[in-house]
Amino acid sequence: MFNTATQWLQDLNLEPSTKVAIALAAIVVIAILTHLILHYVFLRLVEKLAYRSKWVWKRALFEQNLFNRIAFVFQAVLVRWQAQLWLAQESLFLSGIELAAKLWILFYLLLSLFSLLDTLLYLAHQYRVARHWPLRGVFQSIKLFASGFACILFVSIITDKSPVILLSSLGAMTAVLLLVFKDSLLGLAAGIQLSANKMLSVGDWLEMPKYGADGDVIDIGLTTVKVQNWDRTITTIPTYALISDSFKNWRGMQESGGRRIMRSIRIDVGSVAFLSEEDIVRLRKTKLLTGYIERKLAEIAKANAEECADLSCPVNGRRLTNLGTFRAYLNAYLKAHPGIHQAMILMVRQLEPDAHGLPIQIYAFSNDTNWVNYESIQADIFDHILAVVQEFGLRVHQMPSGQDLQALLRN
């Protein structure tokens, strides 16, 4: 059809400028018709079918404009082909249209590659395993190198020189390029190390005080990592800083199913004493202590009998103390608590006393790693401890307040 049209145009007894105008008009009209058919008929029909499909990848291709950009590439190829058919080889319009078409094709091919990478990234995030890979940084690296190569091809097309010549001339600019793209190259290397060593992934809880970051990782890019802090602010960290500096990743805690409780109450040393017979009778009624007291009384009686200890003196022989019984109660209480992870370390330990009293530390793990639930479990445990400590004749140590000093002055 085009050969017949070209021959018909040559046979017309018209001015050369008129023939060129007719050829250009035909190229423009066919290009417009092609654009309308592709974008407003064919692509819309295919898009409707894609959105009706249950396959996510079909919708993702349209959401990232991949087919639209490929359609523009096809249009540029068609325009160039028409120009070669309608215009004479020596025509300046042919050279101009071919140059514009080549640049057009190269530009939309680059954009099509970007759309393809964005589609792959979107699809990867639909799978739980792939979400933990720093794919965004890898794809950004590909985009960066593709853009650089496209720029070289752009210059090559405009200057009509081989891209090999341009690439060879870049050797002298290597130092400058390394300086310009330093952050990108460092980020790429850091992203590879983070991925290979499984050091960090999207969704991890990251703590990095140097940068004021304490929250969830929401994005790992080529040059930056975004962290949404617990106060909902966003902290941006250079990707390579995660390799050069230290940070804390709480993923291990989240995956273990247990979150550590390590908190102390301070006992007034002056309240530590031996249990009296009345105290023993009263504490025996405590469900969590009955077995412990019976066992310890038998053990103490046997030891005192073997040593023939004179129990008329309080310092002779072995006796139950209120502090030791209190620690035994706390240990039994934690083992019976529904919010404590029983498969992890659980102990009640006594730390070195100081001017602020004798620290009794709870070292255990909650079975819920959710922050709100964890704090609730921890608070419930210490509410109970502070309320029950007086039952053992113990006092919690605290610094004197203004009210205490006023009471002393009145007395």
| Domain containing residue 286 | 277-320
Q: What is the pLDDT of residue 375?
A: 93
Task: Tell whether 295 and 343 lie within a shared domain.
Answer: no
CA distance 397 to 166: 79
The answer on pLDDT for 357 being more than 70 is: yes
The 10 Å Cβ neighbour count of residue 87 is: 23
Q: Is residue 181 part of a domain?
A: no
What are 103-126's pLDDT values in tens digits?
888 898 988 888 888 888 877 777
Q: Is residue 133 part of a domain?
A: yes
Q: What is the pLDDT of residue 1?
A: 46
| Average pLDDT of span 56-80 | 80
* Cβ-contact 195, 133 below 8 angstroms: yes
Task: Tell whether 21 and 124 lie within a shared domain.
Answer: yes
From the centroid of its chain, how far is CA 161? 46
From the centroid of its chain, how far is CA 198? 12
The 10 Å Cβ neighbour count of residue 216 is: 15
The answer on pLDDT for 261 being more than 90 is: yes
* Cβ-contact 322, 304 below 8 angstroms: no
Task: Tell whether 314 and 325 lie within a shared domain.
Answer: no
CATH code (residue 367): 3.30.70.100
Q: Is residue 169 part of a domain?
A: no
Instruction: From 103, 138, 161, give the residue that closes a domain.
Output: 161
Q: Is residue 172 part of a domain?
A: no
Task: Tell whether 36 and 134 lie within a shared domain.
Answer: yes
Lowest-confidence region among 141-145, 232-236, 285-289, 349-353: 141-145
- Give the pTM: 0.59
Instruction: From 161, 188, 213, give the residue that closes a domain.
Output: 161
Q: Which stretch of DSSP H or E encloses residue 95?
A: helix 92-124
Strand partners, 396: 267
Task: Tell whether 381 and 362 lie within a shared domain.
Answer: yes
CA distance 397 to 408: 17
What are 46-60's pLDDT values in tens digits?
777 777 767 766 677
The answer on pLDDT for 9 being more than 70 is: no
Task: Tell whether 298 and 355 lie within a shared domain.
Answer: no
Q: What is the pLDDT of residue 166?
A: 66
Lowest-confidence region among 72-81, 205-214, 307-316: 307-316
CA distance 108 to 73: 6
Q: Where are the beta strands (DSSP E) in 163-253?
A: 205-208, 213-220, 224-229, 234-238, 248-249
Q: Is residue 221 part of a domain?
A: yes
Strand partners, 261: 364
pLDDT above 70 covers a percentage of the chain that reads: 80
Task: Tell whether 313 and 381 lie within a shared domain.
Answer: no
CA distance 219 to 225: 6
The answer on pLDDT for 403 being more than 70 is: no
Q: In this structure, which amino acid lies at residue 66? A: L
Strand partners, 365: 260
Lowest-confidence region among 89-93, 144-148, 293-297: 89-93
The answer on pLDDT for 181 being more than 80 is: no
Task: Tell whether 302 and 349 lie within a shared domain.
Answer: no
Sheet of strand 234-238, all strands in order from the earlier edge strand to the far edge: 234-238, 224-229, 213-220, 205-208, 248-249
Q: What is the pLDDT of residue 215?
A: 92
Q: What is the pLDDT of residue 16?
A: 58
Task: Tell whether 81 and 224 lie within a shared domain.
Answer: no
Torsion of CA 84, 87, 91, 95, to 10 degrees: -30
Task: Tell whether 303 and 345 lie within a shared domain.
Answer: no
Q: Is 347 helix (H, G, I), strand (E, B) or coil?
A: strand
More confident of the two residues 283 and 67: 283
Task: Tell whether 265 and 291 lie within a shared domain.
Answer: no
CATH code (residue 220): 2.30.30.60
More confident of the two residues 307 and 388: 388
Q: Which residue has the tokens 């991925």?
A: 195
Q: Is residue 77 part of a domain?
A: yes
The answer on pLDDT for 174 being more than 80 is: no
DSSP state of 131: G
Task: Tell whether 296 and 362 lie within a shared domain.
Answer: no
What are 139-158's pLDDT values in tens digits?
777 887 888 788 888 888 88
Q: In this structure, which amino acid lies at residue 166? A: L
CA distance 106 to 98: 12
Contacts of 207 (CB under 8 A, 6+ apart): 213, 214, 247, 248, 249, 250
What are 19-41's pLDDT values in tens digits?
667 767 877 888 888 888 887 88
The count of domains in the chain is: 4
Torsion of CA 10, 16, 21, 26, to 10 degrees: 10
Residues making up the chain, counted from first to last: 411
Q: Is residue 239 part of a domain?
A: yes
Distances (CA, A) of 36 to 39, 62, 265: 5, 18, 77
Instruction: From 114, 145, 161, give the residue that closes a domain.
Output: 161
Q: In this structure, which amino acid lies at residue 405? A: L
Q: Is residue 171 part of a domain?
A: no
- Mean pLDDT across the chain, nearest whole number? 81
